[in-house]
Structure 1
Amino acid sequence: MYKKLATVGMTVLLVGALSACSFGDDNNSSSNNSNEETSKSSSSEKSSSSDSLQKKSFDMSYEDAVNAFKEKHSDAEVSSVELEKSLGKYVYTVDGIADDNEYEMKFNADTKEQLSDETDRLDSEDAGGVEKANEKLDLDGIKTPQEAMDKAVSEQAGDVTSWTIERELDTTYYEVTVKQDNNKYEIKLNAKTLEVLQTEQDD
Structure 2
Amino acid sequence: MYKKLAAVGVTVLLVGALSACSFGDDDKDTSSNNGSKETTSSKSSSNNSSTDSLQNKNFDMSYEDAVSAFKDKHSDADISGVELEKNLGKYVYTVDGISNDNEYEMKFNAETKEQMSDETDKLDQEDAGGVEKENEKLNLDGIKTPKEAMDKAISSQAGDVTSWNIERELDTTYYEVTVKQDNNKYDIKLNAKTLEVLQTEQDD
Scaled to the shorter chain, the TM-score interval is 0.7 to 0.9
| Correspondence for 2:177 | 176
Q: Does the 8 Å CA contact 2:49/2:159 hold for their aligned counterparts?
A: yes
Alignment length, in residue pairs? 167
Q: What is the RMSD of the two structures over their aligned residues, measured on CA atoms?
A: 1.8
| Correspondence for 1:90 | 91
Q: Does the 8 Å CA contact 2:55/2:160 hold for their aligned counterparts?
A: yes
How far apart, CA to CA, are the structure 2 residues paired with 1:107 and 1:42? 38
How far apart, CA to CA, are the structure 2 residues paired with 1:150 and 1:43? 16
Q: Does the 8 Å CA contact 2:47/2:158 hold for their aligned counterparts?
A: no
How far apart, CA to CA, are the structure 1 residues paired with 2:43 and 2:85? 25
Amino acid in structure 1 at the alignment position of 2:176: E
Deviation at 1:44, TM superposition (A): 4.3
In the superposition, relative to structure 1, how do residues 124 and 167 fare at CA in structure 2: closer, same or farther (>3 Å)?
same
| Correspondence for 1:109 | 110
SS of structure 2 residue aligned to 1:178: strand
Amino acid in structure 1 at the alignment position of 2:150: M
Amino acid in structure 2 at the alignment position of 1:58: F
Q: Deviations over 1:45-87 (max 9, x none)?
A: 5742100000000000000000000010001000000000001
How far apart, CA to CA, are the structure 2 residues paired with 1:108 and 1:138? 24
SS of structure 2 residue aligned to 1:187: strand
Amino acid in structure 2 at the alignment position of 1:169: L
Q: Does the 8 Å CA contact 2:164/2:178 hold for their aligned counterparts?
A: yes
Amino acid in structure 2 at the alignment position of 1:192: K
Q: Could you list the runs of 4 or more consecutive aligned residues of structure 1 that deviate by over 3 angstroms after TM superposition? A: 40-47
| Correspondence for 1:148 | 149
Unaligned runs of 5+ in 2: 1-34
How far apart, CA to CA, are the structure 1 residues paired with 2:153 and 2:188? 6
Q: Deviations over 1:88-139 (max 9, x none)?
A: 0100000000111100000000110000000001111111101111000010
* TM-score, normalization by structure 1: 0.78
Q: Give 1:5-84 correspondences, 5 Å limit.
A: 44-45=45-46, 47-84=48-85
SS of structure 2 residue aligned to 1:140: coil
How far apart, CA to CA, are the structure 2 residues paired with 1:145 and 1:45? 23
How far apart, CA to CA, are the structure 1 residues paired with 2:161 and 2:126? 37
* Percent identity (aligned): 83
| Correspondence for 1:202 | 203
SS of structure 2 residue aligned to 1:54: helix
| Correspondence for 1:192 | 193
How far apart, CA to CA, are the structure 1 residues paired with 2:48 and 2:56? 12
Unaligned runs of 5+ in 1: 1-32
SS of structure 2 residue aligned to 1:186: strand
In the superposition, relative to structure 1, how do residues 43 and 87 fare at CA in structure 2: closer, same or farther (>3 Å)?
farther
* TM-score, normalization by structure 2: 0.78
